[in-house]
Amino acid sequence: GPPRTVDGTLFVAALEMREGDEYPYPGALWLVAVNADGSVRTGARVEVADAAGLVSIGPDGTAYLVAGNEITAFDLDGARDGWPVRVEGDLSALAFGPNGRIYLTSSPPDGTSLRLLAVEADGRVVEAGPGDLPISGSSAWTGAGPAGGPIAPLVADDGTAYVVGEADGETVVYGIDAAGAVMDGWPYRDPATLPWQGTCPPEALGCGVARALPAVGSGGTLYLPVGAVGPVAGGSLVALGRDGRVIPGWPVGLVRSGADFWSVVAAPGETAFALAIEPETSRSTSATVLDIAIDRAVRYRETVVGPGGS
């Protein structure tokens, strides 16, 4: 998982995976802390039965490995007491909410529903939603590499959680309040699905691609990238309010066929920074960063890779 800065210290999760003839792969993990003065502390090793999982670092610098049906928590001193914990189903990556709560989604083997769960600081797994939601988990990854578990929930500062899945070929999003109830106006349905960040040629070995993931702002606005519905135009970025409705003026659409938003980051002040990937001539692509205000105004755009790039 990506590194994380906590109170000026950079935390990085290191991995040693010992490959064998069969999956899962045993190995070890540990944290490395890099301080502002350049000093480095290497944490204690944590031996795990399956090192080929998803690692996330929480806002307090604790790291978590999701591998199979187990979640292991470790910090600079090693494995945390009371962990690993076991959670049934096909698990998503983790999301971090207020008050130290950890959120994830779980899907049964048949993939016909999603549950929103939370893990408390002591390792207790509790329901964070209304139970089984009638949607399948949109796979966060496809191709070689980790199994394509469902997309992790998005959690706002007040504990509101958004669960993204699919039903009848549409993208479906549930807004769930901190008490675990579906909020008025939800779910939201979109005829398009979340785009993939690239493609894998049929002849490519070891190739895999990830989904373009939504983002949630500090005020609870959900920014949802979706692909094109037809062959004429490109994908778009939808902004949803807490009432489950599209904010007036949105979505922001891309004109060229084959263009998609590959990334979106929510910034303070209800601003979205989005990365648009668009086809150019001679089989090349361009990448443009856009700063989009909540009223849909594009305050600036900068093409960071021009025609001829890839």
pLDDT in tens, 61-76: 999 999 989 999 999 9
Residue 238's pLDDT is 97
Average pLDDT over residues 259-278: 93
Residue with the bigger pLDDT between 199 and 72: it is 72
Does the structure show a pLDDT above 50 at 310? Answer: no
Pair 43, 61: CB distance under 8 Å: no
Residue 180 half-sphere exposure toward CB, CA atoms < 13 A: 12
Give pairs for 123-128: CB < 8 Å, separation 24+: 123/73, 123/80, 123/82, 123/83, 123/85, 124/85, 125/85, 125/87, 127/180, 128/101, 128/103, 128/161, 128/176, 128/180
The pTM for the full model equals: 0.91
